[in-house]
């Protein structure tokens, strides 16, 4: 009974923190204007983690899913740290400067995040123009594309597509170690913390659910075992 009461107390504490932060979402976004979006996340519900949102930089709405950045934080658990002033590009081409600040309860457990996204697309264009006028040489590396969306399935799909694109291969063209590396990479990014993610990945790859669980299990085993074994008997790849 004491354990149950303690668990309920922690959940109540987390709910109270989210309620206290909700009014700040509108305030921060209003301070920085239309180029700013603020999103409050509850990581206890990955598929509908967005508690409150103000601004429209990434197009999320309340009740929407976490982004791939959130999945990555979720995968790190209580070891997650704030990620500040990083730059990514959305699928729509916007250049976004962001900060993700994790929320912890009094026991230090991570349960959510407050995220600030600023659309710096026009600032980047002006900087490029000024650099060209000044005769500055050299190019700038393009930031990574980040998947945002209210639908968690679309975020998972985008992560899978990005992994396959980096390999320049379909699933059928990957050898055993590359297949394990794909599952390990998805696991490192928190994909399999989402409900039904294994089934979704299996369907996208055209393999059985048993085979997907097999690859996931082996990808979590010591890496020396990567070259050994195949798919489970009777599984369709």
pLDDT at 99 (0 to 100): 93
The half-sphere exposure of 41 on its side-chain side, counting CA atoms within 13 A, is 31
CATH, range 2-146: 3.30.450.20
67: buried, middle or exposed (CB in 10 Å: 19+, 13-18, 0-12)? buried
The half-sphere exposure of 125 on its side-chain side, counting CA atoms within 13 A, is 6
pLDDT per residue as tens digits for the range 34-79: 999 999 999 988 889 999 999 989 888 999 988 878 888 888 889 9
Say which residues have a Cβ less than 8 Å from residue 152's Cβ, sequence separation at least 6. Answer: 46, 47, 65, 66, 194
pLDDT at 137 (0 to 100): 54
pLDDT at 123 (0 to 100): 82
Residues of the chain with pLDDT under 70: 136-147, 149-150, 223-237
pLDDT at 141 (0 to 100): 61
pLDDT at 7 (0 to 100): 83
pLDDT at 150 (0 to 100): 67
Q: Where are the domains of the chain?
A: 2-146, 152-225
């Amino acid at each position: 009974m004491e354990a149950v009461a303690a668990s309920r107390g922690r959940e109540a504490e987390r709910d109270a923190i989210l309620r206290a932060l909700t009014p700040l979402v509108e305030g921060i976004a209003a301070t920085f204007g239309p180029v700013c979006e603020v999103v409050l996340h509850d990581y206890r519900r990955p598929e509908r983690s967005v508690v409150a949102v103000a601004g429209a930089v990434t197009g999320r709405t309340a009740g929407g899913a976490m982004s791939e950045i959130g999945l990555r934080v979720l995968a790190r658990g209580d070891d997650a740290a704030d990620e500040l002033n990083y730059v990514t590009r959305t699928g729509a081409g916007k250049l976004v400067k962001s900060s993700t600040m994790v929320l912890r309860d009094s026991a230090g457990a991570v349960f959510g995040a407050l995220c600030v996204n600023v659309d710096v697309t026009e600032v980047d264009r002006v900087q490029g123009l000024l650099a060209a006028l000044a005769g500055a040489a050299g190019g700038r590396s393009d930031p990574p594309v980040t998947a945002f969306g209210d639908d968690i399935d679309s975020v998972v799909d985008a992560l899978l597509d990005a992994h396959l694109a980096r390999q320049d291969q379909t699933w059928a063209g990957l050898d055993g170690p590359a297949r394990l590396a794909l599952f390990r990479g998805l696991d490192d990014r928190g994909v399999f913390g989402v409900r039904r993610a294994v089934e979704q990945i299996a369907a996208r790859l055209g393999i059985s659910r048993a085979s997907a669980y097999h690859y996931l299990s082996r990808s979590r085993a010591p890496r020396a075992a990567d070259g050994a074994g195949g798919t489970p008997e009777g599984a369709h790849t």
